[in-house]
Amino acid sequence: MLSRLLLILLVLPLASGAQDLTKAIHEQAAAILPQVIEWRRYLHQHPELSDREVKTAQFIVEHLQQLGLDIHTEVGGHGVVAILRGKKQGPVIALRADIDALPITERVDLPFASHDSTQFNGQTVGVMHACGHDSHTAMLLGAATILSSMRDKLAGTVVFLFQPCEEGAPAGMPGGAMRMISQGALDDPKVDVVFGLHIISNIPIGTLEYKQGSIMASADQFDIHIKGKGSHGSQPWLGIDPIVVSAQIIMGLQTIVSRQEDITKAPVVISVGSVHAGNRFNIIPETADLVGTIRTLEPAMQKDVQERIKRTATSIAAASGATADVSIDTKTLVTYNDSALTAQMAPSLQKAAGADHVHVTKALMGAEDFSYYGQKAPSMFFFLGGMPAGADPAKAPAHHTADFYIDDSRLDVGVMAFCQLVFDYERLHPVK
């Protein structure tokens, strides 16, 4: 199927002018859209959890092999890196898609819904692409197909990054982006710039959104282990109640947001997601454990909040005669769009979606390990709308839920954006 599709793309007319090139990208994206949708739906029906993306990687490689690319497998786990070298010298541009799914049982009634299940954290769970990574993978496969058919027009090299393990690595292991980087995914050839996108369920279909600077938050996990002194529930004065101390710490953490950080500069979120203590109604336990997340949009604020959490928890515990041991694990950095690069490349998004369908957005407090690519090269991350036309954004099913849903009929917009960014960046940054 792909070979036939590639042949169709190769015979579509290609002109040399910038406007004609954009027209050719639109024509090829329209031609490949049915295949992109088919890929996305297959991947949606066959999801795999983080660090288990064996069949997903095989599926990706199977299609890339037909394009004549230099393919590297098992990069950062089950990641795939494919390299397309143009006919002329030029910059090296990386395009990234994440490929993993989530431990969620799908509730959406679709003919291609996932019915898979697996073992995760000792439980039997469903597996679902509840964040759109299936669509990201399909769009990058589409872009690879089109750019391969236009190889003669390329003045540079394109590195396609199919990244595993974005949703969360196993305990004690780094995430997929860090692992791919550590294994040289951006080094041979050395990447000059990285672009990535994320589909969003409450943005109108076919719309592209972007912003300069911080576009997604950092994410830290904090664990607070509180040790008090156990006692009978009828005699709390004989013990040191870690549950009461936990409650005081939880409330104290919220004053970091409301009273200690300058939220006129950037928002901060501190959420406790897990509280565990005790096992019987009349026993005051000896210990309690809190687990939560920190979200910030400024690197300096991220460090400051970490220190304030440690000080708040330990001080509150000490005031009651208890102890609090605080550990903080940084999961991602702030996803930061290089300001000069973003301003320069925004017109490429307008060429892909039309000026009326491209908007500057506000930052999201969700997090992305795409942020680590930006530590190695200038980067730009943007959003693609997947909400059905006429739907209410306030009622759109949230990401990471059993009801998550996107309309995949305009995935061609993401494909076009990837391709347009490549050609425009090459034109703006020729090799001298």
Tokens of 163: 């990244």
Per the prediction, the chain carries an average pLDDT of 95
CA dist 355 and 64 (Å) reads 32
Q: pLDDT over 70 for what percent of the chain?
A: 96
Q: Is the pTM of this model over 0.75?
A: yes
Q: What is the pLDDT of residue 431?
A: 81
pLDDT tens-place string over residues 120-146: 989 999 999 999 999 999 999 999 999
- For residue 17, what is the enclosing H or E element? none
pLDDT tens-place string over residues 271-293: 999 999 999 999 999 999 999 99
CA dist 177 and 185 (Å) reads 9
Dihedral through CA 3, CA 5, CA 6, CA 7, nearest 10?
90
CA dist 365 and 374 (Å) reads 18
**Cα separations in angstroms, 57 against 46, 129, 133, 408:** 12, 15, 13, 21
Identify the burial level of 25 via C-beta atoms within 10 angstroms of its C-beta, where 0-12 means exposed, 13-18 middle and 19 or more buried: buried
Tell whether the model's pLDDT for residue 76 goes beyond 50.
Answer: yes
Amino acid in the structure at residue 236:
P
Q: pLDDT over 90 for what percent of the chain?
A: 93
pLDDT tens-place string over residues 217-240: 999 999 999 999 999 999 999 999
pLDDT tens-place string over residues 349-393: 999 999 999 999 999 999 999 999 999 999 999 999 999 999 999
pLDDT tens-place string over residues 14-46: 445 778 899 999 999 999 999 999 999 999 999
Sign of CA dihedral 275, 276, 282, 283: negative
pLDDT tens-place string over residues 195-223: 999 999 999 999 999 999 999 999 999 99
Tell whether the model's pLDDT for residue 48 goes beyond 70.
Answer: yes
Number of Cα atoms under 13 Å in the Cβ half of residue 237: 0
Tell whether the model's pLDDT for residue 265 goes beyond 70.
Answer: yes
Helices 299-319, 242-255: inter-axial angle, 10-degree rounding: 150
Tokens of 93: 């541009």
Closest CA to 149 of 2, 18, 39, 42: 2
CA dist 41 and 408 (Å) reads 9
Residues noted as catalytic: 100, 166
CA dist 166 and 248 (Å) reads 34
3-class SS of residue 275: strand
